[in-house]
Structure 1
Amino acid sequence: MEKQPCTAVNFERILRRHEVEHRTGLPRSSLYRMIAAGNFPRQRQLSPSSVGWLESEVSQWINSRQAL
């Protein structure tokens, strides 16, 4: 039986709040204040009781801050 080649799967890693806080150094209150002001990527609803952020959007925000 011949193995099928792996194809690239386009998926996006979801970060939970604790990981976002760790990567950005922002506490929860600052994170949500910045979201409300439009200065940080919005979270995505994962289920009725959980949210997450796209890793690419958080990384892009971090890179934009380093450029300042």
Structure 2
Amino acid sequence: MRILSKKELRALVLYSPGHIDRLEKAGRFPKRIVLGPCRVGWIESEVLAWLDARIKERDGICASALPEQA
């Protein structure tokens, strides 16, 4: 399992930190993992699955047919 830093996440997702926070709080983005008092990360496989779901939505594949996010 690989953990993404904020910098790596931003490079992969291309959203601002504020927008990522809003999506996460709304339950529409993978949740972060608290690694320490001032350090968080995201599980790479969860973020990639989230991106894959966006691609499938774009391609017109029904979201209800997708596996649920953990």
TM-score range, shorter chain: 0.7 to 0.9
Number of residues paired by the alignment? 57
Structure with more helix by fraction: 2
Q: Which residue of 2 aligns with 1:36?
A: 25
Q: Which stretches in structure 1 are left out of the alignment for 5+ residues?
A: 1-11
Q: CA RMSD in A?
A: 0.6
Residue 23, structure 1, aligned to residue 12, structure 2: yes
Q: Give the whole-Å Cα distance in 2 for the aligned partners of 1:34 and 1:48.
A: 22
Q: Give the whole-Å Cα distance in 2 for the aligned partners of 1:33 and 1:22.
A: 18
Q: Give the whole-Å Cα distance in 1 for the aligned partners of 2:18 and 2:34.
A: 18
Q: Which stretches in structure 2 are left out of the alignment for 5+ residues?
A: 58-70
Q: Which has the larger radius of gyration?
A: 1
Aligned structure 1 segments of 4 or more residues deviating by more than 6 angstroms: none
Normalised to the residue count of structure 1, the TM-score between the two structures is 0.81
Normalised to the residue count of structure 2, the TM-score between the two structures is 0.78
- % identical equivalent positions: 35
